[in-house]
Amino acid sequence: MPRERRFIGTVITAAIFIAMEVAALNMMSRSSELQRSWVGSISQGFSAVFWGTGQKIGGYFSLEKQNRALAEENFLLRQKLLESEITEDAPAKVIKGFEYTPAEIVKMSRNRQHNYIILSKGYDDGIKEKSAIITSDGAIGIIDAVSAHFSYAYSFQNSEISISARLGKEGAVGPMVWDGHSSDGAVLREIPLQYRYSPGDTVYTSGYSAIFPPDIPLGVAQDAKIINGSTNEIRIKLFRNFTALRYVTIAHNTSLDEMEEFER
């Protein structure tokens, strides 16, 4: 009780002190033109700091909402882009065949050799198995099973997953796998020795896979080593760091069933 009283007393004293100082500043600003501009600049600076801080705090708490809105907008823009590309001279059968749905990662493992991802969308949202999980700058995984409201996917950080990737837009194609330990590292295998590349070349999805759409930038090539004297194995630094991942897009090839049926 005495502590509470002391605290209240301190608050009251501080309030009276501030009120008196404000009154003194007010008197000064009314008494002299010089002091008026000085007090004006102080009050402007103070209100700028006060409102700026308030806005920052408000912005921080609305980040999640903004992220959702951006993910939705991203999805809509991707759909629009898709439509515009169909009407132009792009190969319609490749681009047209993918259906995009935004989703949020609700669970993801990162510290195993067989990592997985659980997404917030299921078959009620039109999600199907063997769909790709992508972002604008990376391939994240492949959906393996779906429930009504969730999807279970193999993460790219899974030693069993490989993605068909291409060095540059028109370069050699090979399977790209996780390097097994880092959150932004991969290895591009089976690149023929005769194919010349430069460290820093961008790696894209090849489009040879029926799961991933083509030309999604994945990362940049780094150093290489020769395997069995016949192929290069190139180390890739991924654009997308898996430690900072939350909103993704699910891409489903609408012709997948037909393609699989045809392959049989």
Partner 1 sequence: MRRRQFILTWIILLVVQMFLCNYFQFTPIVTLSILPAMILCLPLSVGTVPALFIAFGAGFTVDFLADGVIGLNVFALVAVAALRRPILRLVFGTELFSRGEDITIRRNGLLPVSIAIVFAELVFFILYTIADGAGTRTFLFNFGRVMLSTLTSFILCLVAADTLLGENNRL
Residues that bind partner 1 (CB under 8 A): 12-13, 16-17, 20-21, 23-28, 30-32, 34-35, 37-38, 41
Q: How far is the CB of 30 from partner 1 (least distance, A)?
A: 8
Closer residue to partner 1 (CB): 39 or 191:
39
Which amino acid, one-letter code, is at 109? S
Q: How far is the CB of 12 from partner 1 (least distance, A)?
A: 7
Q: How far is the CB of 43 from partner 1 (least distance, A)?
A: 13
Closer residue to partner 1 (CB): 35 or 222:
35
Q: How far is the CB of 46 from partner 1 (least distance, A)?
A: 14
Closer residue to partner 1 (CB): 37 or 109:
37
Distances (CA, A) of 28 to 23, 38, 60, 225: 9, 10, 38, 76
Q: How far is the CB of 14 from partner 1 (least distance, A)?
A: 8
Closer residue to partner 1 (CB): 24 or 48:
24
Closer residue to partner 1 (CB): 45 or 54:
45
Helices 33-61 and 2-31 cross at an angle (nearest 10°) of: 130
Tokens of 38: 């000085």
Q: How far is the CB of 243 from partner 1 (least distance, A)?
A: 48
Closer residue to partner 1 (CB): 42 or 57:
42
Q: How far is the CB of 6 from partner 1 (least distance, A)?
A: 12
Distances (CA, A) of 264 to 5, 94, 196, 216, 261: 83, 21, 36, 28, 5
Closer residue to partner 1 (CB): 29 or 101:
29
Q: How far is the CB of 4 from partner 1 (least distance, A)?
A: 18
What dihedral angle (degrees, nearest 10) is formed by the CA atoms of 212, 71, 102, 112? 70
Closer residue to partner 1 (CB): 12 or 193:
12
